[in-house]
């Protein structure tokens, strides 16, 4: 049992009005004294003012600015590099971003649903789940734990071809093809840190697409990595718990 | 028109790390730093933590003697990218990574193209990498960047753009650095606003571009949401046709009778074509 687990929060900001949102969302987590790393997109208007405000609200946080490569996935990869570079070894990692998905019909409820994982009750129960069940690797909102379609030994979804190639290249062998859509989840840190020590996150990031790509019409490397971030963990025989 | 210089005071990364700079050891938060990356890879974590929490704006310089080694360069590229991505770095307004050489012959040694290519791979299109001779006493001008060895008696250089000043003191420690800055600051105090104007202009232009890009992005979102929602609409419609409309007519009619029996619709409605909107 870990008495005071170290939590690292990797939070990506893309929208210019996300400061209040980030502050509000992170409040329940502050009692755990987490390491907070922000990435703000370089294209975000008013980014320097936002960085100043964030520094005031979270004095120990570190902030980087990176280009809009790979959307929130690329940003989180840059934050993984920062985490590794700082040689911080957290027990658990919380991935968050200011998701809006304005193009989607259900965008209004999407983010709220995903944020169930950081309500005070959910934080406590998530940490307990990790501590009590060693095979629990990921915790996310259950409605967003999606099964990637796989029939007759092949992926049948839009990202299928890319996924097959990436799983081979990075030697990832998940026990199931369930993943967390939206990439906001609690994760046991060890598998992710181990993986990114082997495969530099910025090397991965350079293969992602620029700007706001979507996978509604064709597969993308970015959306494939959305799945792989879950599968890096589940390939270690760990499962995803829904809350 | 001559514009007063915009100083970034050069200090070795190792000197920063040898002191607890978080406890107000630097003279002034307004002093901008040019941090020479002269540390071994083992100290990269400490330098990352230090620069990440630094309130002073800074840029990072590469000593050619270290970075001309291809293996060292490859190891350092991710580290360099993160150091150049911190918010305090961004107050330079643009990504400038000077290369400092001990002698002119070293100037070609650092593979600046490799560094630029790496940054491009991370989505950074423009990285300025002026090369300077670190020990040359005369003022060196590379593009809009100037390198200048400050001594107390020298006259001030007047130039547009960045100026990277170096105290270049062998065995420099933090107190000699601070003394140097306090002397240098008195000579540039009257012209500091020129420098601020230069950076502010870069940042202001960047902000305008970002707002323009953002308005185009929201316009794209509107167009995109139309096509995405149209796709979702047809997916639902196709599903309906496949799963319901394809059923035989007698089956569907039988379904309506079941609805009447379950109280979901009235018996009378079976004999009229008028659609009655369900009330909640």
Q: How confident is the model at residue A29 (pLDDT cuts 50, 70, 90)?
A: very high
Question: CB distance A86–B45 less than 8 Å?
Answer: yes
Q: How confident is the model at residue B68 (pLDDT cuts 50, 70, 90)?
A: confident
**Candidates B93, B116, B123, partner chain A, best to mutate (most A CBs within 10 A):** B123
Q: Quick one: pLDDT at residue B139?
A: 78
Residue B113 Ramachandran class (φ > 0 left, ψ -120 to 50 alpha, else beta): alpha
CA dist list (Å): B149 to A202, B11, B99, B139, B195: 36, 12, 15, 7, 18
Interface of A with B in 205-224 (CB under 8 A): 205-206, 210, 212, 214, 216-217
Kindly state the DSSP code that residue B160 receives in the 8-state scheme: S
Contacts 24+ apart (CB under 8 A), B144-147: B145/B96, B145/B98, B146/B5, B147/B98
Between A65, A69, A104, which is nearest B87 by CB? A65
Q: Does A142 reach chain B within 8 Å, measured CB to CB?
A: no
Distance CA A206, CA A210 (A): 9
Distance CA A185, CA A192 (A): 13
Question: CB distance B232–A105 less than 8 Å?
Answer: yes
Which residues make Cβ contacts (< 8 Å) with residue A99, sequence separation at least 6?
Answer: A72, A110, A111, A114, A182, A184
Asked whether A169 and A139 are in contact (CB, 8 A), the reply is: no
Min Cα distance A135 → chain B (Å) is: 31
Min Cα distance A95 → chain B (Å) is: 19
Question: Which residue in chain A has the smallest CA separation from B41?
Answer: A85
Q: Quick one: pLDDT at residue B158?
A: 57
In the predicted structure, residue A205 carries a pLDDT above the cut 70: yes
Give tens-digit pLDDT for B101-133.
887 666 667 889 999 999 999 999 889 999 888
Q: Is A28 exposed, middle or buried (0-12, 13-18, 19+ CB in 10 A)?
A: middle
**Lowest-confidence pick of A214-223, A230-239, B7-16:** A214-223
Between A68, A86, A104, which is nearest B228 by CB? A104
Question: CB distance A82–B48 less than 8 Å?
Answer: yes
Q: Whole-model pTM?
A: 0.84
Q: How confident is the model at residue B141 (pLDDT cuts 50, 70, 90)?
A: confident
A66 interaction partners in chain B (CB closer than 8 Å): 85, 122-123
Q: How confident is the model at residue A54 (pLDDT cuts 50, 70, 90)?
A: very high
A10 interaction partners in chain B (CB closer than 8 Å): none
Q: Tell me how crowded residue A243 is: count the other CB atoms within 10 A of its CB.
A: 16
More confident residue, B94 or A45: A45
More confident residue, A24 or A1: A24
Interface size A-B, in CB pairs within 8 Å, comes to: 98
Question: CB distance B45–A69 less than 8 Å?
Answer: no
Q: What is the mean pLDDT of residues B67-95?
A: 90
Q: What is the mean pLDDT of residues A110-137?
A: 89
Contacts 24+ apart (CB under 8 A), A30-35: A30/A58, A32/A5, A32/A7, A32/A123, A34/A6, A34/A7, A34/A8, A34/A9, A34/A94, A35/A6, A35/A7, A35/A8, A35/A9, A35/A60, A35/A83, A35/A88, A35/A90
Chain CA centroid to CA A81, Å? 13
Interface of A with B in 57-96 (CB under 8 A): 60, 62-69, 74, 78, 81-82, 85-87
B47 interaction partners in chain A (CB closer than 8 Å): none
Give tens-digit pLDDT for B199-211.
677 778 888 888 8
In the predicted structure, residue A203 carries a pLDDT above the cut 90: yes
Q: What is the mean pLDDT of residues A215-234?
A: 88
In degrees and rounded to multiples of 5, residue A187 shows phi and psi of: -140, 145
Question: CB distance A16–B203 less than 8 Å?
Answer: no
Min Cα distance B121 → chain A (Å) is: 5
Question: Which residue in chain B has the smallest CA separation from A14?
Answer: B214
Q: Quick one: pLDDT at residue A211?
A: 74
Question: CB distance B82–A216 less than 8 Å?
Answer: no
Q: What is the mean pLDDT of residues A143-172?
A: 91
Asked whether A65 and A47 are in contact (CB, 8 A), the reply is: yes
Question: CB distance B86–A200 less than 8 Å?
Answer: no
Chain CA centroid to CA A6, Å? 17
Q: Where are the alpha helices (DSSP H) in chain A?
A: 19-26, 47-57, 71-85, 107-114, 120-132, 160-169, 189-198, 201-205, 221-234
In the predicted structure, residue B17 carries a pLDDT above the cut 80: yes
Q: Quick one: pLDDT at residue B190?
A: 47
Q: Quick one: pLDDT at residue B173?
A: 77
């Amino acid at each position: 049992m870990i008495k005071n687990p170290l939590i690292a929060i990797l939070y990506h900001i893309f929208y210019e009005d996300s400061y209040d949102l980030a502050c509000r969302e992170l409040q329940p987590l502050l009692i755990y004294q987490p390491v907070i790393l922000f990435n703000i997109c370089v294209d975000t208007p008013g980014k320097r003012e936002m960085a100043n405000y964030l520094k005031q609200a979270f004095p120990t946080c570190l902030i980087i600015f990176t280009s809009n490569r790979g959307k929130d996935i690329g940003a989180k990869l840059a934050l993984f590099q920062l985490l590794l570079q700082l040689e911080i070894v957290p027990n658990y990692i919380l991935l968050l971003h200011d998701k809006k998905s304005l193009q989607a019909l259900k965008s209004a409820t999407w983010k709220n649903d995903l944020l169930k994982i950081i309500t005070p009750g959910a934080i406590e129960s998530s940490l307990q789940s990790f501590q009590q069940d060693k095979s629990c690797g990921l915790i996310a909102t259950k409605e967003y734990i999606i099964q990637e379609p796989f029939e007759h030994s092949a992926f049948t979804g839009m990202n299928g071809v890319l996924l097959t190639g990436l799983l081979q290249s990075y030697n990832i062998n998940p026990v199931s093809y369930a993943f967390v859509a939206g990439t906001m989840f609690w994760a046991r840190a060890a598998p992710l840190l181990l993986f990114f020590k082997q495969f530099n996150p910025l090397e991965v990031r350079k293969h992602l697409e620029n700007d706001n790509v979507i996978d509604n019409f064709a597969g993308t490397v970015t959306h494939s990595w959305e799945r792989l971030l879950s599968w890096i963990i589940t390939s270690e025989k760990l499962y995803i718990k829904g809350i | 028109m001559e514009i007063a210089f915009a100083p970034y005071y050069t200090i070795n990364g190792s000197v920063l790390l040898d002191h607890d700079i978080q406890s107000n050891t630097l003279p002034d938060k307004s002093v901008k730093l040019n941090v020479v990356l002269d540390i071994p890879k083992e100290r990269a974590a400490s330098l990352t933590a230090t620069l990440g929490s630094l309130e002073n704006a800074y840029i990072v310089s590469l000593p050619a003697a270290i970075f001309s080694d291809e293996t060292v360069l490859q190891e350092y590229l991710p580290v360099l990218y993160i150091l150049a991505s911190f918010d305090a770095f961004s107050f330079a307004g643009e990504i400038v990574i000077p290369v400092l050489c001990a002698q002119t012959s070293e100037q070609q040694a650092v593979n600046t193209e490799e560094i630029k290519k790496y940054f491009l791979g991370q989505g950074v299109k423009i990285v300025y990498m002026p090369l300077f001779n670190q020990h040359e006493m005369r003022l060196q001008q590379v593009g809009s960047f100037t390198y200048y060895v400050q001594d107390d008696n020298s006259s001030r250089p007047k130039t547009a753009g960045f100026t990277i000043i170096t105290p270049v003191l062998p065995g420099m420690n933090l107190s000699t650095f601070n003394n140097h800055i306090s002397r240098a600051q008195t000579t540039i105090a009257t012209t500091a606003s020129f420098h601020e104007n230069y950076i502010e202009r870069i940042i202001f232009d960047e902000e305008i571009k970002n707002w323009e890009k953002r308005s185009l992005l929201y316009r794209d979102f509107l167009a995109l949401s139309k096509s995405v929602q149209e796709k979702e609409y047809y997916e639902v419609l196709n599903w309906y046709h496949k799963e319901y409309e394809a059923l035989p007519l007698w089956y569907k009619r039988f379904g309506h009778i079941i609805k009447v029996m379950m109280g979901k619709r009235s018996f009378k409605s079976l004999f009229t074509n008028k659609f009655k909107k369900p009330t909640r």
